Structure 1
Amino acid sequence: MSVTDTEATGRAPGGGAGPEPAVLTRRLRLVLVLLLTTQFMLAVDFAILNVALPVIGRGLGFPLAHLQWIGTSFALCAAGFTLLFGRVADLFGRRRLFLGGLVVLGVSSLVGGLAQSPGMLIVARVCQGLATAAVTPAALSLMTTSFPEGPLRRKALGLNGALMSSGFTTGAVLGGVLTDLLSWRWAFFINVPVALAVLVIAPRVIEESRPEKRPELDVPGAVSVTLGLLAVVFGLTQAGEQGWSSPGALLSLVAGVVLLVVFYFVERKVAAPLVPLGVLGKRSVAWGNVAGLFAFATFTSLVFPLTLYLQDVLGFSALVAGLSLGFLGLGTVTGGVTASRVIGRFGTRTTLLLGGSLQAVFTAALVCLGADRSWMWLMLFAGFAGGIGNMLAIVGFMVTATSGLADHEQGLATGLATMTQQVGITLGTPVMSAAATTAMTGSGAVAVLGGLKGAIGVNAALVLLGVLSSALFLRDDRPAALRASRRSGHGRSARRKGGGRFRPVA
């Protein structure tokens, strides 16, 4: 028997604001576990094949020049279709899209694991990317509509962000372990039982969520924004592989920008826009997503120079390098677990600024890395601390970008947030690659280290730019009582009178 709206969310069945649940009920815990498990699995999928690419190429006869399409085909669909599917979830049902996407993910993962040719594998990766574009915003919007604004939503989004970020690191480690001990095919097969388990349990505990009156789908807007995002993401991947001055990258990026401008003008004219400009005009949505773009682009791309540092400079194996990067993942988990309390105490804007500042400081500290293994302590400590800061910023971004919106706009808001995430992940590595190549002079480990330090310096500067944008354009959203207390000094006098403790007022 399905959980009712009132039982699951603490709101009245009509959708009005009801009393917020003080604790997680048994059913809410199960809903959260299902959604978090799915999001973690999708994050792992982004990185799990990176280590296995050479083995896959030899096993299926992939030409070396075409190996990158195993990742590119997935990234194109995951980023290009996420905004469209986020809005489709609002219009046709979030649970329906969530379950349908999981079916596609499970089948395509099985096909990928059984693939006997490059074409068959690429088709499986395309379908995995489409499934990710559908499931990610649907799961996130189910989370934000199941947990009303407040401590429970912040806790859910904190855990979600922590597991997603750690999933990228876990994917790299798990891909190496599965490939070495079993076969690269298990990087696909591992999704199948997880998807089946979620498909069996989810319909029993997750309620459908869709508007009573279904508006028309904005087809011109959907076509223009999807093609625009596909062109931008393709241009970014081409820039990372062939350089930012390559004709393919430049033409694709220009075409993408033109299509996104067309999308903007389409949205101004249509009666039922895919993305209402009023939503984009909200400061929390617009600048929250800018903050998220910097947070995702910088930290996920930091794995690129650090992987090269561990292998090409310090001489560690791929497996040891992957395990060492696990400290970044531990940092993100720690940040995700504590983010809810930090936001509740200081507000999302302050949390964004604090997290970004921590990330900027400890990323800049990595510029001091040396050419021998005695510097490992700095990489591990700075990676862990920077991971905490990055996750504080990411959870702050997620809460900011999905707050202050009605339930019927949550699919759109989470679609925008997911698009920001995917584009940020895609954008970061080409930028780091270009920065490292530009800063690298000569050859050998010392030259490689110089190039990597240049890339790390650019990374820290971009983190700082994100912090400045949040400081300038996001409003202070600390609890009103806390702001008033600090302005008047009443809090300090109350503590003095009360022996250092606040006393409840009847």
Structure 2
Amino acid sequence: MVLVRLPKNVLALAAVCLTSLMFGLEISSVPTVLSTIEHVLNADFNQMQWIMNAYTLACTTVLMATGALADHFGRKRIYLASIVLFGLTSLGCGLAQSAPVLIASRFLQGIAGGAMLICQVAVLSHQFPEGRERSKAFGAWGIIFGIGLGFGPIIGGLIVAVANWQWVFLVHSPVAIVALALVLAGVQESRDPNAQHLDAPGILTLSASCFGLVYFITQGSDLGYASPTAFGLIAATVLSFIAFIFVEKRSPRPMFDFSVFQIRSFSGALFGSIGMNFSYWPFMIYLPIYFQGALGYTSVSAGLSLLAYTVPTLIVPPVAERLALRFEARRVIPLGMFTIGLGFLLLMFGAGAEHASWLTMLPGCLLCGTGLGLTNTPVTNTAMGSVSPNRAGMASGIDMSGRLISLAVNIALMGLILLEGVHAYLIGALSSVPETSSLRLLAAQVAGGNIVPLTQSGAEIAAIDANGVILQEALVHGFGFVMLYGALGAWAFALLSVASFYAGTRAHRRAPAVDSGVRHPSP
């Protein structure tokens, strides 16, 4: 009865915020329990990567399909289906008894999460089409998303401390029931009247190219980078992406409308979206490994330490919205990306300090979170405000695809950089040990944060590094390369965003607008 008396837009916003909370918690709480899962399920480093990658890769796979389905069949209908599936697959993750089963369940959960995320943005765009109400709605969405991301690490650590790791997943099932009630009561049905068919060739070719790239990055060392299998995989990935571009260019109603890139605000915001997930978000997967492996913190202590990295994403978005209104998003978004890069640089110095601790990591963590908070909400609001409401599904699909493709690829790339950095250090520090596959297995063990059971690494290594000092230094060395990569990537996308915003302005003045069903905002 209470739900009936509340305005529909209030209920719709509550539904969007609750599902964004679930999505945010699922991203940030899982990394802090990976070490527990690794021990309980006897998972190796590759499997740990896939527990995270399966989720993001599945999200990426369904993003554009969901946008097209939502535009065609109705956003409320697809939203409801995605929430039901998310609740069921979260239950499946919590009941998993082995790493392969958990990976498969995470993939299905990612399908539901990606669909749910697209619908959140599309619903907000339809029910809050313009003006201050739209800005407030997206601001609230960003804050609640930030709460899920910001408090996820400590929530995950506390769950492991007081219960067991399964409840990190199981908690979403009852929450999904509440979200369903809110959607049924408040969300208005909407669709794109021009969406008459589903672009199956585009969905399949984009999904295949994303999967091939991530699989090559994560499994390339096992396959052999110069092996025929690896070359075949890369060839198939490239051909799939070329085919994707070809079918989208020829489709009369493509799910991926390339003409939107001619809108300067959309392109500049998209580079910001990709840049955040090039550096900040994938590093969240590995930062708990540093706190637990290099600094020796417990899962709860690691979660508390991560609050400095995530809480600014909760506090800063309202400030970012005000700054965007006053100084324009084309200035705020690159500033946020630059701040993230500077934060990564400080993290690198903090990790390499002689007596490293959470205090030496604090400045970098705070700057990274602040930069993310400056970027996250403005890029979404700017991207969605650049197109007409009836194309919200398509636009949110492109925006979220850019984010999650970058996230999935960089989870894999950061893992590879960490592994290779650790391996290179071990080769130099343990020069008396023959370079065999066992040394690489040791590097994978260290990269996963497991530097305790040295007796399992061979008697010769245990004799050289009985206290694990070399292994700990190797982990710090590997993280230094990962942090440098994050800084350079954030700055590169800051420059691309600036170039897109301002080059787009000049192109907009010289060229006529493209008639693609999108709305060109004024400068």
TM bucket (normalised to shorter chain) is 0.7 to 0.9
Change (3 A) 1:30 1:256: same
Change (3 A) 1:191 1:212: same
Alignment partner, residue 216 of structure 1: 197
Offset of 1:385 from its aligned partner?
2.6
Change (3 A) 1:95 1:456: same
Change (3 A) 1:376 1:270: closer
Alignment partner, residue 257 of structure 1: 238
Alignment partner, residue 9 of structure 1: none
Offset of 1:450 from its aligned partner?
3.4
What letter is aligned with 1:334? I
The secondary structure found in structure 2 opposite 1:474 is helix
Alignment partner, residue 368 of structure 1: 349
Alignment partner, residue 210 of structure 2: 229
2 CA distance for matches of 1:112 and 1:376?
A: 31
What letter is aligned with 2:300? L
Alignment partner, residue 272 of structure 2: 291
Q: Which residues of structure 1 form unaligned runs of 5+? A: 4-24, 479-506
Q: In the alignment, which of 84, 90, 106 is matched to residue 87 of structure 2? A: 106
Tell me which moved more, 290-299 or 120-129.
Answer: 120-129
Tell me which moved more, 201-210 or 301-310.
Answer: 301-310
2 CA distance for matches of 1:175 and 1:242?
A: 34
| Alpha carbons 2:208, 2:237 under 8 Å: kept | yes
What letter is aligned with 1:422? L
Alignment partner, residue 424 of structure 1: 406
Equivalences for 1:148-163 in 2 at 5 Å?
Answer: 148-163=129-144
Matched, 1:408 2:390: yes
| Alpha carbons 2:218, 2:416 under 8 Å: kept | no
Matched, 1:36 2:13: no
1 CA distance for matches of 2:40 and 2:478?
A: 33
What letter is aligned with 1:381? P
The secondary structure found in structure 2 opposite 1:272 is coil
Equivalences for 1:60-459 in 2 at 5 Å?
Answer: 66=47, 68-116=49-97, 121-212=102-193, 214-238=195-219, 251-303=232-284, 306-369=287-350, 370-373=352-355, 376-439=358-421, 441=425, 442=429, 443-459=470-486
1 CA distance for matches of 2:260 and 2:8?
A: 32
| Alpha carbons 1:297, 1:426 under 8 Å: kept | no
Tell me which moved more, 180-189 or 47-56.
Answer: 47-56
Count residues in correspondence. Answer: 458
Offset of 1:226 from its aligned partner?
2.5
Tell me which moved more, 241-250 or 413-422.
Answer: 241-250
Higher relative contact order (Cα pairs below 8 Å, separated by 6+ residues): 2
Offset of 1:346 from its aligned partner?
0.7
String of CA shifts for 1:145-164, please: whole Å, max 9, x gaps. 22223333333333433443
Tell me which moved more, 268-277 or 150-159.
Answer: 150-159
| Alpha carbons 1:356, 1:466 under 8 Å: kept | yes
Change (3 A) 1:240 1:307: farther
Alignment partner, residue 462 of structure 1: 489
Change (3 A) 1:104 1:467: same
Change (3 A) 1:270 1:450: closer
Tell me which moved more, 410-419 or 231-240.
Answer: 231-240
What letter is aligned with 2:134? R
1 CA distance for matches of 2:503 and 2:322?
A: 17
Change (3 A) 1:236 1:143: farther
Offset of 1:263 from its aligned partner?
1.3
What letter is aligned with 1:464? W
2 CA distance for matches of 1:225 and 1:327?
A: 36
Q: Which residues of structure 2 form unaligned runs of 5+? A: 430-469, 506-523
What letter is aligned with 1:44? L
What letter is aligned with 1:462? G
The secondary structure found in structure 2 opposite 1:325 is helix
What letter is aligned with 2:135? R
Alignment partner, residue 49 of structure 1: 30
Offset of 1:392 from its aligned partner?
1.1
Tell me which moved more, 436-445 or 254-263.
Answer: 436-445
What letter is aligned with 1:388? T
RMSD: 3.2
Tell me which moved more, 309-318 or 92-101.
Answer: 309-318
String of CA shifts for 1:450-480, please: whole Å, max 9, x gaps. 33223222211111111111111214999xx
The secondary structure found in structure 2 opposite 1:217 is coil
String of CA shifts for 1:391-412, please: whole Å, max 9, x gaps. 2122232123222211121111
2 CA distance for matches of 1:81 and 1:135?
A: 10
What letter is aligned with 1:395? T
Offset of 1:298 from its aligned partner?
0.7
2 CA distance for matches of 1:423 and 1:472?
A: 22
Tell me which moved more, 318-327 or 377-386.
Answer: 377-386
Offset of 1:66 from its aligned partner?
4.4
TM-score, normalised via structure 2 length? 0.78
Change (3 A) 1:48 1:474: same
| Alpha carbons 2:256, 2:398 under 8 Å: kept | no
2 CA distance for matches of 1:188 and 1:305?
A: 19
